[in-house]
Amino acid sequence: MSTIDKPFNRLLLTGAGGGIGTVLRDRIKPWARVVRLADIGDLGEARPGEEIMRCDLADRDAVLAMMEGVDAVLHFGGISVEDQFVPIMNANILGLHHLYEAVHKHGVGRVVYASSSHTVGFYRTTERVDADMPLRPDGFYGLSKCFGEALSRYYYDRCGIETVCLRIGSSFPEPKNARMMTTYLAYDDLVELVRCALFTPRVGHTIAFGTSANATQWWDNGKAAHLGYVPRASSQAFAGNFPPTAERPPAGDPTTIYQGGPFVSAGPMYRD
């Protein structure tokens, strides 16, 4: 595909320095003449077809500037782990407000938003969750993503700005523990999911779960079937890393009772 044929002129990727951002940085180039990469940290030198912008999402003016000339946004920026409330609020709540204000002001029509399965982390590992079920965040991080889903819904209902919220499981080269056998999202599937979210002609406001075709399933993606996302990988390829065991976690262990795993008790809540 020649440069001239690339579907977008300028695509913005926020959080480009993060784990998923780094993966996407290389894989999304065929989709745009220019990929604008943004992060709160240093992203190094721009490579061909890239623009680089350093941006703190809590800085309204910086966010407005970052959005200029952008056709569509892949928003993977902000804080993506459990943390104290105030930094999460600044990056993921105030920052997201800034982002959508800028999207609205610059007439951007589509956002792919990195939500999280931690919006529903307090469902049990024996339950199956779909995109319309009530929220059950498992920490301040998950809570900020609940906010993001509601805010993006509002911008769709009020202004027609389309968003796909991706409730990503665990996107790593391979599952790092037994829980990730269920939540694993291979990089190839991640890229395919983002591609579907970006190119499906109409998405309205869609919430989609992001996992590969793993054997164990906690999430029913039926409400996002119009995206056409079909995962190809499966965590079963790594089943040998987690041999069957008769040892059961203690009956009251929240990290195995709830889908959120360690997040449900990793938070800073009990600190004084």
Catalytic residues: 141
Nearer to a copy of itself, 49 or 154 (CB): 154
The least distance separating a copy of itself from the CB of residue 35, rounded to whole angstroms, comes to 13
d(CA 16, CA 141): 19
The three-point CA angle 92-98-106 to 5° equals 135
- Tell which residue, 196, 25, 217, has the closest CA to residue 130: 217
The least distance separating a copy of itself from the CB of residue 107, rounded to whole angstroms, comes to 11
d(CA 29, CA 26): 6
Looking from the CA of 49 toward its CB, the CA atoms found within 13 Å total 18
Crossing angle of helices 95-105 and 60-67, rounded to 10°: 40
d(CA 75, CA 13): 6
Residue that is written with structure tokens 């459990």 in the block: 82
d(CA 162, CA 202): 8
d(CA 8, CA 16): 18
- Total number of residues shown for the chain: 272
The least distance separating a copy of itself from the CB of residue 168, rounded to whole angstroms, comes to 19
Read off the tokens for 123: 């469902």
d(CA 199, CA 46): 25
- CA 42 vs CA 18, 54, 79, 102, 206: distances in Å: 11, 7, 16, 22, 32
The least distance separating a copy of itself from the CB of residue 89, rounded to whole angstroms, comes to 6
Q: Is the dihedral of CA 8, 9, 14, 15 positive or negative?
A: positive
